Amino acid sequence: MIKAGDPGFAFDDFDENAIATTFHTTGTTGDPKQVFFSHRQLVLHTLAAATTIANQPVGQNVTRRDVYMPMTPMFHVHAWGMPFIATMLGMKQVYPGRYDPATLLALKRNEGVTYSYCVPTILRMVVDAAKANAWDVGPWTMMIGGSALPEALAQEAEEVGIIALSGYGMSETGPVVTLARSQPEDTVGVRCRAGFPLPLVEVAIDQARGGELTLRAPWLTQGYSQQHASDALWDGGRLHTGDIAEIDADGAVRIVDRLKDVIKTGGEWVSSIELEALLTAEPGVAEAAVVGIPDARWGERPIAFVVRAAGPTVSEEALREAVVARALTGAISRYAVPDAIHFCDALPRTSVGKVDKKALKETAHPSALFAGA
C-alpha cells in the first residue's frame, strides 16, 4: 500500500484543533462513553510521553534502537500512544495480531523485541509460558496498565527477564498521564505504583470526593458526546478520574481503588485492589478479583473470584486463613475478609483484557452461588 502511494501527494492543511480521533470508553464499571481528541492533543501527548519514556532509568527506557511490539488492541486509546512515539523515533515495530503467548515469545526472540505494553492478564500469560519452557526472555521492558499490577506478578516477571512497570491513564486521558520508575536499591513494589506525572500533567487529590484523583493536562479529552456527562467529568475545571489515590512523599501517585469498585462495608471502605494483591501473592493463585455485593446488614460485603495457578491446588480455607491472618495483624480491616471465595477457570474480560467487574457482580448473587458460605 505504501509503495502504491504518491510520495508527492499534497496534504491539505487544517486547524490543529480539528478532531483527529474518537472512540468509546471500555465501560468496565459503567456505560461506555464516546471521547474525542484533536490533532494538537495527540502531538502534545506524544512529545510528553516520549520525553518521559526516553528518560527512564536504564532498563526501563526506550531509544530509537529498541524494538517495539504492542500487546493490547490497537483500537483502544491510540494503542496507548506508542505507535506515534515509535514512528517519530524511527523504531522497528512488530505487530503480532492475536495475543497468543507462544506467538508473542517467538516474535520476541526472532525479532529482538525489547519494549512492549499490556494489561496484567497478558503479562500473566507470557510469564507462565516463559516459566513452562524455562526461558529467560530478557531484556524486555513492559509498561503495564488497564488495572493494577500485582507486586507478586511483577516479581515473577523479573525472574524470567521482564522488567514490568506501571503506567496510569484512561480513555479520557489519551491515555498516559503517569509512569512508574525505580532505582536499583528500590523494591519491586515501587514499580507497581501508578508513578510520576508526565511533563505538563498536574495531579491533585480531591478529599471532598473521597480522595479522588483529579487531573489537568493539555491533551485530556474535552468531554463526552453527552453534555451532562462532560459537565460531571470536568466539574470545577479539573478532570475527575473516578479513582481513589494517594500521593507518596516522593511525588509518585498510588491508586487505592476505583470509586465504583471500593467496597463500603460496616462503615469502612475496603480496597478491592488491596485484597486482590493479597490473594494473588498467595501460592497457587494465578489471578484474583474482588467485588462488593449488596448486604442488608453491612451495606456491601466483599466476594472474591480466584483463578488457580498450575501445580498444587489451593483451597478456600487456606486463602481465607491468609486473609484473616493479615486482618489479625491490622494490615487490613477485619471487614475486608471476603464472605466467600469462588474459584473459576477464568475471569470475564472486556474487549481490551480488563476484568469485567460488572459481569462479576451480576454473577455474584448470594442465593445463587454462595448460599451457606
Domains, the chain, in order of start with CATH, read 19-258 (3.40.50.12780), 263-369 (3.30.300.30)
Strand bridging mode 140-144 / 162-169:
parallel
What predicted TM-score, i.e. pTM, was given to this entire model? 0.80
Q: Which of 52, 121, 172, 354 is catalytic?
A: 172
Task: State yes or no: is 114 an active-site residue.
Answer: no
Give CA–CA dist 20/78, Å, rounded. 11
Task: State yes or no: is 172 an active-site residue.
Answer: yes
Residues listed for the chain:
373
Q: Which of 21, 29, 135, 269 is catalytic?
A: 269
How many other CB atoms sit within 10 Å of the CB of residue 88?
Answer: 13
Element (DSSP H or E) covering residue 295: strand 285-295
Instruction: Compute, in degrees rounded to 10, the torsion defined by CA atoms 341, 343, 346, 349.
Output: -20
Helix (H, G, I), strand (E, B) or coil at 82: helix
Q: Please give the C-alpha separations between residue 102 and each of 42, 129, 175, in angstroms, as whole numbers.
A: 33, 7, 28
242 neighbors 260 (Cβ within 8 angstroms): yes
Nearest CA among 144, 148, 150, 170 for reference residue 30: 170
Per-residue pLDDT of the chain (373 residues; tens, 9 = 90+): 888 989 898 988 999 999 999 998 876 556 788 999 999 999 999 999 999 999 999 999 999 999 999 998 888 899 999 999 999 999 999 999 888 999 999 999 999 999 999 999 899 999 999 999 999 999 999 999 988 899 999 999 999 999 999 999 999 999 999 999 999 999 999 999 999 999 999 999 999 988 999 999 999 999 898 888 899 999 999 999 999 999 999 999 999 888 888 888 877 788 888 899 899 989 999 999 999 888 888 888 999 999 998 888 899 999 999 999 988 998 888 888 999 999 999 999 887 778 888 888 887 765 444 433 3
Q: Which of 25, 141, 173, 350 is catalytic?
A: 25
Task: State yes or no: is 264 an active-site residue.
Answer: yes
Query: What is the spatial order of strands in the sheet that 299-308 belongs to?
Result: 285-295, 299-308, 340-343
- Burial degree of 8 (CB within 10 A; 0-12, 13-18, 19+): exposed
Sequence letter at residue 186: D
350 neighbors 24 (Cβ within 8 angstroms): no
Helix (H, G, I), strand (E, B) or coil at 272: helix
Q: Which of 92, 264, 358, 361 is catalytic?
A: 264
Nearest CA among 346, 323, 312 for reference residue 277: 323
Task: State yes or no: is 140 an active-site residue.
Answer: no
pLDDT at 366: 53
pLDDT at 36: 94
Segment 140-195, tens digit of pLDDT: 999 999 888 999 999 999 999 999 999 999 999 999 999 999 999 999 999 999 99
